[in-house]
Amino acid sequence: MDSHLLLEIYKKQAKMIYFYLKKNGCSHEDAEDIVQESYTKFIAYSSGVPSDKVLSYIFTISMNEFKKLLRKRGKEQSISIDDDHFWNNFANDLDTELSVLTIEMNHEIAFVLDRIQEVFKQLLLLKYELELSYKEIALLLGMKEETVRTYLFRARKEFQKKWRELHE
């Protein structure tokens, strides 16, 4: 594979994968290591990967590496929702009640996300936390754009159902 093409893919997509790993509770160092390891594995095994599936292949390697790391350490996956926003609110402390409510809401969202299917959780985080388009998500996961739309619809419905169950 052309080294310039590989460098372009790395520059564009590595940050996206890194931030996704961070949102799923991965530490900075581990996220960097996983992204680097994923691209190393891609380089080693890229001969059998079609060019339109490169990003989804690298993303899948990254997710598998992250799950392997969690199993190795015996940890559960934890979702981080808007950490910077949380610390800014906490530091400014303009409205303590709003800060506390925001913290509680984030805990409830993470609690509900932990109780839905893994693919739905991934899709919701990619769409609403990383603000990716349907097309970008489809490229990242190696799915058709229409399939992403359908799954996101189902994910939102399942999230709403679990949210209602929590608040009844």
By CB neighbour count within 10 A (0-12 exposed, 13-18 middle, 19+ buried), where does 87 fall? exposed
Looking up tokens 């489809």, which residue turns up?
138
Comparing C-alpha atoms, which of 161, 134, 165 is closest to residue 150?
Answer: 134
Residue 143 pLDDT > 90: no
Residue 141 pLDDT > 70: yes
> What mean pLDDT is predicted for residues 114-134?
88
pLDDT, position 53: 77
CA distance 159 to 112: 7
Calculate what percentage of the chain has a pLDDT beyond 70: 80
Q: Which fold has domain 86-166?
A: Arc Repressor Mutant, subunit A (1.10.10)
Residue 59 pLDDT > 80: yes
Exposure of 45 in the CB half-sphere (CA atoms within 13 A):
10
pLDDT, position 57: 83
Q: Domains of the chain: which residue ranges?
A: 3-73, 86-166
Mean confidence (pLDDT) of the chain: 80
Residue 130 or residue 31, greater confidence: 31
> What mean pLDDT is predicted for residues 36-63?
82
Predicted TM-score (pTM) above 0.95: no
Q: Please tell me the least confidently modeled range out of 24-28, 67-71, 103-107.
A: 103-107
pLDDT, position 7: 72
